[in-house]
Structure 1
Amino acid sequence: MLSLTSTEISMFIGSLWWPFCRIMGAFMVMPLLGNSYVPVMVRIFLALSIAALMAPMLPPVPSIDAVSLGSFFLAVEQLLIGFMLALFLTLLIHVMTMLGNIMSMQMGLAMAVMNDPANGETNPILSEWLQIFGTLIFLALDGHLVALNIIVDSFRLWPIGNGILDLPIMGLISRMGWLFTASFMLAIPAVLAMLMVNITFGVLSRAAPSLNIFSLGFPMTLLMGLICVLLSLSGIPSRYSDLCLDALTAMYQFIGGIT
């Protein structure tokens, strides 16, 4: 007759429950999977399936009672670790959103906004379009598979029970500055082109005061902005692929990986 002690049952439950918490924490904010149009049950089932497949290959988990207060804090800790891992990818996708905001303000399309039901936000149309473009580039590069592999490797590089305070959290905070830097780097050509257009119309307003700059300047600024967007599409994929590699490398190094 098979007999199991309470310690063995707790370790069996913990070997599945705590990996599930870390994976589910990543799926809550990960691009595409973290959107509201993906049903919660689908995310839970996918996270549970991955946790069940990798449970036999995990390092020994801490022997903590599954119904104790320590088990609860450990589960919350795993949720936060998964959340922070996926935050690198969220910032990567928001690079394109901020790029769209910068270009929209320069070309006069900041007032053309639309509601994003997936994220519960209201962004300019150009931002929404570039965000979809960036997500498709990320998927075309198999970035989602690499990110999932990093999450699985995190259980080997940062085993369950190692704590969260020893993680390089300041490195994650510094990625906020990386978000602004990367988006502005992609927007510099369009910003400079629009600046030249505005300088040109400023000179015209001084040379010909009777010329109605407002009725002429807005259509020309919008037309030049659309041309800049068209020309930027040829250079964005190669630059954005470098940003994807940078974000995935930072995600891997966050949990102690060496590249």
Structure 2
Amino acid sequence: MAATLVITDAQINALVAYFVWPFARIFGLFLTEPVFSSRAIPRRFKAGFALAITVLIAPMLPPLPAVPLVSAAGVAILVQQLLIGAMIGFVLRIAITAVEMAGMLSGMQMGLGFAMFFDPAQSAQVPALGRVISVFVTLLFLAFGGPQIVLSVLVDSFSVLPVGSPFPWRSLEALALWGRHLFSWGLWLSLPVIAALLVTNLAIGVMTRAAPQFNIFAFGFPLTLMIGFVMLYLSLPLLLPAIETLYGESFAFARALWLPPKP
């Protein structure tokens, strides 16, 4: 008589939860991380890549909680995993947005605030100069091995904060405070252009005051535009170590986001 294979509902629930909860954290990262969240990447590829990563790392994860997936506690764990992944990606999103803000500030000071470009990734009009700098730093992110580091941070988070652990609410406060770098980094990266154009505008103001017949619109706009591009060209060699520092701090913060505070 052949043996009968019996699979209970509890076993099916445990098997599904074995993949669903890690998949939720990985997919949450893909929703906010600058490269994986790009609309140029098809959604089916994102879902398939997230599923492949889940299958690879699931055997290495700590034991999962014995909680039914279709229950209030199971849904709460699912939302928690989605939030954790989204927070990790949001750290890198702030870094990229800070560089885009630097390009926006530089373009406005140069007189290119009217030069807008439709960004399909954001479905909105963005300054053309900010979009160019954003593409530049995204390529640097790929050159630095950013996606690999982000995935390693995500995998390490399962060891620091296993599935089912109490959510560290202090991480939300730390992430909110981290958002202030959006303005400080944006101003810091655009400071050379802003400082040079400030001196240029002061010189134009003095010339206009000394010679009222001086046509500021015929001479001032081309001058500020030229000086702005010259300063961008001169600051490009200094932009590489600055972006490297920015990414390094972002990766370090993403790793330390789930660690307990030091006494």
TM-score under structure 2 length normalisation: 0.94
Letter in 2 for 1:28: L
Q: Is the 8 A contact 2:99 2:185 kept in 1?
A: no
Q: What's the C-alpha RMSD, in Å, of the aligned pairs?
A: 1.4
Aligned mate of 1:214, from 184, 200, 217: 217
Letter in 2 for 1:225: G
In the TM superposition, what is the alpha-carbon distance from 1:3 to its structure 2 partner? 3.1
Counterpart secondary structure, 2:126: strand
Whether 2:162 is the aligned partner of 1:155: answer no
Unaligned stretches of 5+ residues in structure 2: none
How many pairs align? 258
Letter in 2 for 1:245: G
CA-to-partner distance for each residue in 1:74-112, whole Å, 9 max, x for gaps? Answer: 111111111111000111111111011110111000000
Counterpart secondary structure, 1:4: coil
Counterpart secondary structure, 1:59: coil
Unaligned stretches of 5+ residues in structure 1: none
> Does 176-185 or 162-171 show the bigger shift?
162-171
Counterpart position of 2:28: 25
Counterpart position of 1:42: 45
Whether 2:133 is the aligned partner of 1:130: answer yes
In the TM superposition, what is the alpha-carbon distance from 1:165 to its structure 2 partner? 4.4
Q: Is the 8 A contact 2:32 2:90 kept in 1?
A: yes
Counterpart position of 2:144: 141
Aligned mate of 2:61, from 58, 65, 69: 58
Trace 1:56-95 onto structure 2 (pairs within 5 A).
Answer: 56-95=59-98
Q: Is the 8 A contact 1:167 1:254 kept in 2?
A: no
In the TM superposition, what is the alpha-carbon distance from 1:66 to its structure 2 partner? 2.2
Counterpart position of 1:232: 235
For 2:208 and 2:167, how far apart are their aligned partners in 1? 59
In the TM superposition, what is the alpha-carbon distance from 1:176 to its structure 2 partner? 1.5
Percent sequence identity is 34
Whether 2:79 is the aligned partner of 1:97: answer no
In the TM superposition, what is the alpha-carbon distance from 1:57 to its structure 2 partner? 0.7
Counterpart position of 1:198: 201
CA-to-partner distance for each residue in 1:119-169, whole Å, 9 max, x for gaps? Answer: 212111000000001111111110111111000111110011113343421
For 1:158 and 1:167, how far apart are their aligned partners in 2? 13
Counterpart position of 1:8: 11
Q: Is the 8 A contact 2:168 2:258 kept in 1?
A: no
In the TM superposition, what is the alpha-carbon distance from 1:67 to its structure 2 partner? 2.1
